Structure 1
Amino acid sequence: MERELLERLLIGNDDASVAALAALRCGGSHMVWAGTTASEPLALIYGRRLRHTRRRGKIEIYNSGGHVNLIADLQSLYATGGGGAFVPTSPTRFLDTRNGTGAPAEPLGADGTLTVKVAGVDGVPADAGAVLVSLTGVGPTTVTHLTAYGDGSLPNVYNDNLAAGETRPVLAVLPVGADGCIRINNAQGAVNVIADLEGYYG
């Protein structure tokens, strides 16, 4: 049976249908047989199949209805061995352009970039590889996006997409530049920016 036809048949809300559909959409193997089997054993089978499929290095993105365009940007990765462990910190605000914390007390303008020191904030060591930051764009004058990065040239990815007047927080893992700073770029209009440290990788 074709995978697309099988997806259409798995519309039910029972545990087996939901688990089977998730495994199928994630690339899991499938077979179809005639007969009746209780829902719970099938849900366990398909749940195991889904976990096995996910271990092969794939992720699952599901749209519950209609059509949607999708963009996925890789922000970071977690690997076994090597690298520094994650060290959580107390939430610490180190940037707020509304009141002058960490930068001038003014909105960040179009194609403007803030350079903000994170080394030394709440114990972040000078050689930290990355920081976990809650990044918030506040009340932009037009549609815009914020891009946060370590050093080098401006990446062609966005951390926070904002509509005019919107306030939106996002959680981001950001590399720390060689100078102990992160950079935050605003694409268009003017927007206030807030950043709270949540932890670091050291």
Structure 2
Amino acid sequence: MTAALVAAGLGIVPGTAHAADPVPVAAGVAEAIAKASTSEGFHSPADRTIRTTLPGAATANGKATSKTAAPQTAQTAVDALNAGANPALAVDVSGTSYTAHGIELTTLITSADFALGVVVDWGDGKTDTVTAQGNAELHHSHTYDKSGEYQVKVTVTDTANGVQAANGGAFLTPGSDFTPHTPTRLLDTRNGTGAPAVKVAGQGSARVKVAGNAAVPAGVTAVALNVTVTETVDSGYVTAWPGAGYERPGTSNLNYTAGRSVPNLVIVPVGEDGYVELYNGGPAPVDLIADVTGYFTRASAGGYTSMTPARFVDTREGVGTSRGPLAPRSAFATRIGGLQGVPQGITAVALNVTVTEPQGPGHLTAYSGDGPVPTASNLNFVPGQTVANAVIVPVAADGTIKVFNGSWMPAHVVVDVVGYYSKESKAAFLPFTPFRTLDTREEAYGWPGGRFRAREYITQGFTPDAATGVKAYVLNTTVTETGGTGYLSVAPSAYPLPA
């Protein structure tokens, strides 16, 4: 029996995490997510309130009052006139969010003791209307359909005094939408692409220019990179993070051993300077390669729809393409849009691509069905090796993608669809600082200790109360110290989380 360290694999997993016959793990994952998330929003203080007199308001003693006001008694009418049209009326508005498209609005009203009408205009054509009396604190929640900037306005109306007060601000949704990008190489330390042609030293790092490079626009919030480590002479790991101004997380994005080339898809926030950084956590120098496959911006583009993983291609059985291994230096096309619940008109697709039974070393590249073969690769392999990797790939107008076998020998290919991007999809990406939720090597995270037994499930709850509406999570999962061959699956479950 052999022990092996298998590269961490990224998965975009639907946001339900329960399993049959489960082993429960740490409570508190949800709290950690809420803590790691960054709230965003605006605050417009009361001194920015804009007061106006209602149309048709009459005046008495130079004070405005409404002709339509109907005080219950003559005395209250006199009080209203003498109140100076509620001179203290003001509105303080704060909006914040811990979710991709949600806003939590707090309105503080300063007013004399009069009945008030309150209208919240969310800036997307939708409004909420409530009433209040005098000083009040109001709370509202709203979810936008798309990413973007919205003008939020709260209007408070005192009909009795013929006066209105309004305040608000611009709210930019924290979530980012995805734009697919033809796989393009941004970094290759072997030949000097994007950095000097020299290996990245042990415990050293390489900076990768993203914004303004290879047609990636300025202002990107995150990027999808296929990161590959190669020319390794020792064991180690690679961590991607925004770089300057950010603390490097204590997690890894891929792990490697001596003599192996290991790829993994990484979704990483981009620093304010437009760069990301790749850290070599091993003791010896390595070469690093980074290919961009898409990017995220806070403008409305393609949202994400998660789905139960579905097999679209298996060359061993003739599913999705002809039966038999993919010939060397050739590609097959397969249709994704319009099949197995995936709609037509999608812009990109999230895949799990696996090579198995390869007869020689090589690589696989997934790309749009109407594009040329890019120079970038999605996974690398050696003879007899089974390797899987997450892939986000643009989809052609006819709903097709292609997979190219870059080896000089045939290999079998398996393609599973885990989700898709489209203009109609509503889920947006919201990054937070990576943190570890489980490590079976340690008696921590609620784990009792010991290896994860064969044919067993782990149950893990994620969604915090402050982040309702979560559709999926981006996870990096690693298996290590294996005692035999097998596979690891991460998926939602129909069973409840144990108490």
Give the shorter-chain TM-score range: 0.7 to 0.9
Runs of 4+ more than 2 Å apart: 25-28, 52-58
Give the whole-Å Cα distance in 1 for the aligned partners of 2:270 and 2:405. Answer: 38
Decide which of 140, 163, 166 is 2:382's aligned counterpart: 163
Q: Which residue of 2 aligns with 1:58?
A: 275
Q: Does 1:182 align with 2:408?
A: no
Letter in 2 for 1:76: G
Unaligned runs of 5+ in 2: 1-202, 205-238, 249-268, 423-499
- In the alignment, is the contact (CA less than 8 A) between 1:27 and 1:53 conserved in 2? no
Q: What is the CA distance between 1:53 and its match in structure 2?
A: 8.6
1:165 partner SS = coil
Q: What is the CA distance between 1:47 and its match in structure 2?
A: 4.1
Give the whole-Å Cα distance in 1 for the aligned partners of 2:274 and 2:386. Answer: 34
Letter in 2 for 1:79: T
The verdict on how the C-alpha distance between 1:154 and 1:47 changes in structure 2, with shifts beyond 3 A counting, is closer
Q: Does 1:152 align with 2:371?
A: yes
The verdict on how the C-alpha distance between 1:184 and 1:53 changes in structure 2, with shifts beyond 3 A counting, is closer
Q: Which residue of 2 aligns with 1:196?
A: 416
List per-residue Cα deviations over 1:163-201 (Å, max 9, x = no partner).
Answer: 111111100101001221000010121000000000000
Q: Which residue of 2 aligns with 1:82?
A: 300
The verdict on how the C-alpha distance between 1:195 and 1:53 changes in structure 2, with shifts beyond 3 A counting, is closer
- In the alignment, is the contact (CA less than 8 A) between 1:135 and 1:196 conserved in 2? yes
Matches within 5 A, 1:1-202: 26-28=243-245, 47=247, 54-64=271-281, 65-150=283-368, 151-188=370-407, 189-202=409-422
Q: What is the CA distance between 1:160 and its match in structure 2?
A: 1.1
Give the whole-Å Cα distance in 2 for the aligned partners of 1:73 and 1:198. Answer: 21
Give the whole-Å Cα distance in 2 for the aligned partners of 1:139 and 1:94. Answer: 19
Q: Structure 2 length normalisation: TM-score? A: 0.31
List per-residue Cα deviations over 1:3-51 (Å, max 9, x = no partner).
Answer: xxxx99xxxxxxxxxxxxx9xx9334xxxxxxxxxxxxxxxxx749xxx
Count of matched residue pairs: 161
- Percent pairwise identity: 34
The verdict on how the C-alpha distance between 1:53 and 1:137 changes in structure 2, with shifts beyond 3 A counting, is closer
Unaligned runs of 5+ in 1: 1-6, 9-21, 29-45
Give the whole-Å Cα distance in 2 for the aligned partners of 1:103 and 1:120. Answer: 16
RMSD after superposition = 2.4
- In the alignment, is the contact (CA less than 8 A) between 1:89 and 1:122 conserved in 2? no
1:99 partner SS = coil
2:276 partner SS = coil
Going by fraction, where is helix more abundant, 1 or 2?
Answer: 1
List per-residue Cα deviations over 1:91-134 (Å, max 9, x = no partner).
Answer: 00010001111111200011111100001233222110000000
Letter in 2 for 1:124: V
Give the whole-Å Cα distance in 1 for the aligned partners of 2:275 and 2:378. Answer: 22
List per-residue Cα deviations over 1:121-148 (Å, max 9, x = no partner).
Answer: 3322211000000000112100011111
Letter in 2 for 1:56: D
The verdict on how the C-alpha distance between 1:140 and 1:83 changes in structure 2, with shifts beyond 3 A counting, is same
Q: What is the CA distance between 1:79 and its match in structure 2?
A: 1.4
The verdict on how the C-alpha distance between 1:105 and 1:78 changes in structure 2, with shifts beyond 3 A counting, is same
Going by fraction, where is strand more abundant, 1 or 2?
Answer: 2
1:66 partner SS = coil
Q: Which residue of 1 aligns with 2:82?
A: none
1:166 partner SS = coil
Q: What is the CA distance between 1:82 and its match in structure 2?
A: 2.3
Letter in 1 for 2:349: V
The verdict on how the C-alpha distance between 1:160 and 1:47 changes in structure 2, with shifts beyond 3 A counting, is closer
**Larger gyration radius, structure 1 or structure 2:** 2
2:340 partner SS = helix
1:169 partner SS = strand
- In the alignment, is the contact (CA less than 8 A) between 1:127 and 1:180 conserved in 2? yes
